[in-house]
Structure 1
Amino acid sequence: MTSIFSLRIHPGRPSQGCPEGLSEAGHTYGVRDLYRMKFRSELSQEEYLREISQDAGLPLSGDVMGGA
């Protein structure tokens, strides 16, 4: 059996298949999601979705509009 620790640093939704697959293979695992821990990176979830064009109706942030 192997112990695996995964650190997520991505604003997209997490894949649900990986942890279940690890358990089914008999491994133990730990997952930490920095976004759920309120880690502030360069992109918020809303900014990320806007940038990948999944929701073009989201408002532009102040830095894009020329503000602070």
Structure 2
Amino acid sequence: MKIERKRYVVMRNNRTEIWCGLARHYYFKPVDEIGDSPIKTYLSANKAMSGCSSWDRDFEVVEVVETISAE
């Protein structure tokens, strides 16, 4: 089984860091150090923007494809 769905993530404008964490303990983490870290995803670009609206705009919302697979 393989499920693919469109999601949105928040990244620094230079796309070197991505918004990670769970339960309001969020932080930017370098993309090359993600490993098994949970990445915060959003159902829409608007939800991602509203979740970060008080920041200094040093971020962008990026569309990604999330894949869930089971064997």
**Bin of the TM-score, shorter chain as denominator length:** under 0.3
TM-score by length of 1: 0.24
RCO higher in structure (CA 8 A, sep ≥6)? 2
TM-score by length of 2: 0.23
Higher strand residue share: 2
